[in-house]
Structure formats: C-alpha cells, structure tokens
Amino acid sequence: MAKQNVYLESKPRYEILDGLRGVASLMVIIFHLGETYCKPGAQQWVNHGYLAVDFFFVLSGFVIGYAYDDRWGKMSLGGFFKRRLTRLHPMVVIANIIGTCLFFFGASYFTASLEIPFWKFGLCFIMGMFIIPCGRGLDIRGWNEMNSFNGPIWTLTFEYIGNILYALVFRFLPTFVLCILCAGAAIFTLDFTLGWDIFGMLPVKEFITESGEVLTFGGPQYHVKGGWSLDPAQIYLGFTRLLYPFLCGLIISRILPKRRTADNPSGSPIRVKGGFIWASLILITILSIPCIGGTDGVANGAYQAAMILLVFPLLVLMGAGSTIKSPALAKVCKFLGDISYPVYITHYPLIYLHMGFVAEHPVGSIPTWMHAASAVGVFFTAVILAWGVFKAYDEPVRQWLTDHWLKGEQKLPMWLKITAGALVAAAVLLIIFKP
C-alpha cells in the first residue's frame, strides 16, 4: 500500500535539548580558538571541547527517533530523505560558500594552498556543495580535511550516514536488537579511549618538538579527537564517534514513550528543577575539564569513555525530562537552538583567519590584549554571523523548500535539477580528466 501523500507538520521541540545544543556549539568555538594557541601535547582553554561532536550525535539519534519513528505509515522513504535534506543541506551550501570566500583571506597561512590549480579549487568547491568528502589528493590546505574550505562539515557527512542507516536499517529493528548493536558500538569507543587497538587501526600521531624534530607515535592515543579525513584510521574513528551516540539516542527516543504516565508525561527517569541550568553547567564542565593523567594517558581516555557512554545519554534524559517555566529562559533556549547548527557549521572559516593572524603575530610579539580582542571578536562575529544566516537565509530557504517541495510532494523546479546535475557532472569529469 502506497504511503499517504501528505505533509507532516513538525512535532513540538524539546526546548532544553535545543538550548544544550546551542551551549555545546558555543563551546566548540572556544575550543577551536584555544587550539590556535595550543602547542602539541599542551592543554588549552576548553580541553575536551571536541566531545561536543559526540554529544551532538546522541541528540541527533534522539531527535530522529522522536520525529520519525511513529510516522512511517504516512511517510515514504523518499519523503523522509526530502525532509532531512531540507533541514540539513541549505546550511551545508552556505557554509561551503562562506568558507570558500574567506579562504582567499587566509590562504597564505597554509603553505599547501599557495599554488593550487584552478581545477582543484573548483572541484573542492563543487564537492563541498554536495558534501562529497575530498581525499588526500584534493587537499588544498595541507591538513587532509574532507572539506578544505570548512573543516567541521565532516560531521555532516556522518550525520547523513546516520540518517541513511536509520531509514534503511535501524527503524526496522526491535529495540532489544538496537541495544545489542549499541553495546557492540561501545566496544569501538573503548577501543579508542582505552587504547585497545583491537583492529590495529588507531592513527599514527606526529609530534613536532621545539627543535623541529618530528616524533611519530602509533597505536594507543586514548582520545576520540578526529574523524575529519578519509584516511582509514580517521574513517574508523568517524564511524566510531557516530554509531554508539546515535544508537543510544535512538534507543532513548523509543524507551521514553513507553514510560509515560500522568505524573511523568515525558517518561524520563531524570526530572530536575532548573534542568537547563544544571545540564548546561554539567556540559560546560565536561567540555572544559583539563586532561586527566596527561594528554595521552589512559585515565583521560577512561574519562572520555565515561562521558560518551554514560553521561551524555543521562544529559539527554535530563533535558527531555525537565521543563522550563520561565518565559525568559525559554527564549534563551530558543535562541541557542536556532543558532546551534548555523554557528557550528559557519564558524570555522573565521577560525582559519584567526590562525593566520596568530601566525603573523605570535604571542609575545604584540600586546596580549590584541590576541584577546581578536579571539573575542571572532567569537561574537561567529554568533552574529550564525544569527544573520539563520534569519536571512536558512529560515526562508527551508520555508521555500517546504512550500514548493515537501507539501503535496511537489517536484523541484527543472532549473534547479539541471544546475545540480551539471555541477555533479562537472565534478565527475574533473576527477576523471583532471589536468
């Protein structure tokens, strides 16, 4: 029986979870600013800020399950993917454009970008528009990123993979099977964080001393920082960071409705007065805490494992189970939720520029307040940019796509199909016949 051809309105949002997503996104900005000043092996301002990605994946699994699990009787597979593309891809496009434009202002900092042929530049741009990961041969910065114009887009690659796995596999599986898969995925998390290296896949790490000597380390790294390149170890890490959090979030979304009662409409076992404030403080602390037992110590790996496997799911339960009674706090959560995705995906081109500024003006060469002013300026510029992009671009574009593509299952205009097809064809031709 064919699925009904109807548009499904969005479900009510979890205000606290939206707010927490925004808090995590802001912490990512601070983390990346700290990296600019952080020597290899040194600690920085928000030392575990990269764990925000793992928290995002827990939220993603929860939201996907909550939004779609009970809708498949009225929604086709194609309808699901159209809704996800409408939600995710407009920001991918604008983030790639912003990164490409700002690339020219900071290219001199990256030696690999000084003499790039036009075909490589154009190919990276086209592939970025369609979130196609770039391999080492297409790297234009020297960092081996999947997207050289805007590094954090790599997480959207795995976000899409999670959505595809959900639609094609996970939604059909009973909850107990998902729990088994989740337990198996936890082993991969422990493989990285505890340095087991079961499959001999842990990445090699290079450390450059002050004298210029390059020291190479392989095997246990005791962290999950990575996933942004197409190297085998990085791909393994990317899937590791996706699978357990995403599956865990999906399981939570299935369990909560079964626990709902008149006294506990959310079904969550964790209900806290002032839940957003407490959850935010916990999350900020988790992402800021210094390394435990050294930068590459097993104790620090155990800490990360505990956060990913236990604490992040508990934070989602707290956010889902708690409520906001203050109208002002609700507005704060809405604002944070609105900018969370835009600020995460658009801030890094500004970080590239800040890196160039610090490289040209090392610490000690100019007054400290200038570095502080640059970092603070980048932070607030990123927030303002995210808000502007959200209001002037993301909302209108998603509304247009909803009105002209989703509602009534209308088709995309022919000009848009032709343009997209031409860009994909150009990318393929450049790969095959590159100069």
Q: What is the pLDDT of residue 101?
A: 85
Residue 276 lies in a domain: yes
136 CA to centre of own chain: 21
State what percent of residues in the chain have pLDDT above 70.
83
Q: What is the pLDDT of residue 415?
A: 56
Q: What is the pLDDT of residue 435?
A: 43
Residue 410 lies in a domain: yes
Residue 156 lies in a domain: yes
Residue 10 lies in a domain: no
Q: Which of 125-139, 276-290, 354-368 has the highest mean pLDDT?
A: 276-290
Q: What is the pLDDT of residue 408?
A: 56
Q: How many CB atoms lie within 10 A of CB 210?
A: 7
Q: How do residues 225-277 score in pLDDT, each as one tens digit?
A: 889 888 888 899 999 999 999 999 999 999 998 888 888 888 888 888 989 99
* pLDDT greater at residue 104 or residue 330: 330
- Given a contact cutoff of 8 angstroms between Cβ atoms, the answer to whether 37 and 352 are in contact is no
Q: How do residues 61-117 score in pLDDT, each as one tens digit?
A: 999 999 999 999 888 899 899 999 999 999 999 999 999 888 877 666 665 555 777
Residue 3 lies in a domain: no
Q: What is the pLDDT of residue 1?
A: 39
CA atoms within 13 A on the CB side of 364: 1
- Given a contact cutoff of 8 angstroms between Cβ atoms, the answer to whether 352 and 358 are in contact is no
Full domain range(s) for residue 396: 15-432
**Cα angle 185-188-194, degrees, rounded to a multiple of 5:** 135
Q: What is the pLDDT of residue 431?
A: 52
* pLDDT at 205 > cutoff 70: no
Q: What is the pLDDT of residue 42?
A: 55
346 CA to centre of own chain: 11
* pLDDT at 215 > cutoff 50: no
Closest CA to 175 of 297, 69, 52, 60: 69
Q: Which of 186-195, 196-205, 247-256, 323-332 has the highest mean pLDDT?
A: 247-256
Range name among 115-119, 153-157, 179-183, 313-317 with the lowest pLDDT average: 115-119
Strands 214-217 and 205-208 come out as antiparallel
253 CA to centre of own chain: 20
* pLDDT at 410 > cutoff 50: yes
> The tokens of 140 are what?
């234009």
Residue 260 lies in a domain: yes
Q: What is the pLDDT of residue 63?
A: 96
Sign of the Cα torsion 211, 212, 214, 220 reads: positive
Q: Which of 148-152, 180-184, 209-213, 396-400 has the highest mean pLDDT?
A: 180-184
Q: How do residues 16-53 score in pLDDT, each as one tens digit?
A: 999 999 999 999 999 999 888 876 555 677 889 999 99
Number of domains in the chain: 1
* pLDDT at 332 > cutoff 90: yes
Residue 9 lies in a domain: no
Q: What is the pLDDT of residue 43?
A: 61
CA atoms within 13 A on the CB side of 222: 15
- Given a contact cutoff of 8 angstroms between Cβ atoms, the answer to whether 390 and 342 are in contact is yes
HEC per residue, 198-259: CCCCCCCEEEECCCCCEEEECCCCCCCCCCCCCCHHHHHHHHHHHHHHHHHHHHHHHHHHHC
Q: What is the pLDDT of residue 92?
A: 95
Q: What is the pLDDT of residue 393?
A: 93
* pLDDT greater at residue 203 or residue 249: 249
Residue 4 lies in a domain: no
Q: Which of 70-74, 138-142, 210-214, 274-278 has the highest mean pLDDT?
A: 274-278
State how far the Cα of 28 lies from the Cα of 53, in Å rounded to an integer. Answer: 9
Residue type, 280: S
The overall average pLDDT reported for the chain is 85
